[in-house]
Every structure is written in structure tokens, then in C-alpha cells.
Amino acid sequence: MILKVWQTGLYFGHDMEIGLSLEVRLQAKLAARGISAPAKIVTAQPMDIFVNGDNPVLSFGLEVYPAGGLPFAAVAKAAVAPTSVSKYPPGVTVYVKFDPQNPNQVIIDHR
């Protein structure tokens, strides 16, 4: 499946449009108000979804290490440039933002 994101919006099937619209809003909320924390990539799996042409969306299994809290497992999805996929193997540390009220809501923090 290939998804194309245009500046004016997302164009694909209605059900998928609603799901991605919610995902975009969640990402905006967490980018603005989420708590930053380091996370270790445990798994990185392609999802057979592509954004803006050839940028694959990966599903990352993460171990998140919040300051002053216990580590927790989470999953985040992110589009990655094809030339950067090899930079995110298991074991690499990335930064994420998460909702402390709902730690299952996690995004990769593209600093």
C-alpha cells in the first residue's frame, strides 16, 4: 500500500483518512506537550506503507526511560527517509515524547 501526503491534505480511502487524521492530531499534541525521554529501539519493522513517495513507515518497539520513572515498553510509528533506515537498528537510542497520563501514546522526537 502506498500513501501519498500532499500539502493540502491526505488522499486515500475514507476509513484510513480518519485513522491517519487522528494520528496526525496525536503527533501534534505530543510534539507540543509531550514529555521527552530517551528510548532504546527494541524492534524496527517496516509496515508496507510509504509517505511522500518512497519514505517507509516503520513500527518501532521501544523501551522508554523517563526521568524519575520506571522504564516502560511502547510502540511508535514514524516515516523514515530511505537513506536513513539503516540508522535505526535495534539497540540504538532515540528520543521520544509521551503522554504521562497515557504512556501508550508515544512519538519519535525528530530533533
Instruction: Report how far apart, in Å, the C-alpha atoms of 96 and of each of 23, 40, 50, 71, 76 are.
Output: 15, 10, 21, 13, 9
How much is the pLDDT for 110? Answer: 74
Instruction: Report how far apart, in Å, the C-alpha atoms of 21 and of each of 8, 36, 56, 89, 106 are.
Output: 13, 23, 18, 28, 16
Residues 96-108 as b or e (16 or more Cβ within 10 Å = b) = bbbbeeebebbbb
pLDDT surpasses 70 at 1: no
Q: Residue 73 — pLDDT band, cuts 50, 70, 90?
A: very high
Strand partners, 108: 96
pTM above 0.75, yes or no: yes
pLDDT digits (tens, 9 = 90+) for 8-51: 333 444 444 444 566 778 788 888 889 999 999 999 999 988 88
Q: Which strand (E) or helix (H) includes residue 95? A: strand 93-99
Q: How far apart are CA 24 and CA 20, in angstroms?
A: 6
Q: How far apart are CA 102 and CA 62, in angstroms?
A: 15
Q: How far apart are CA 90 and CA 17, in angstroms?
A: 30
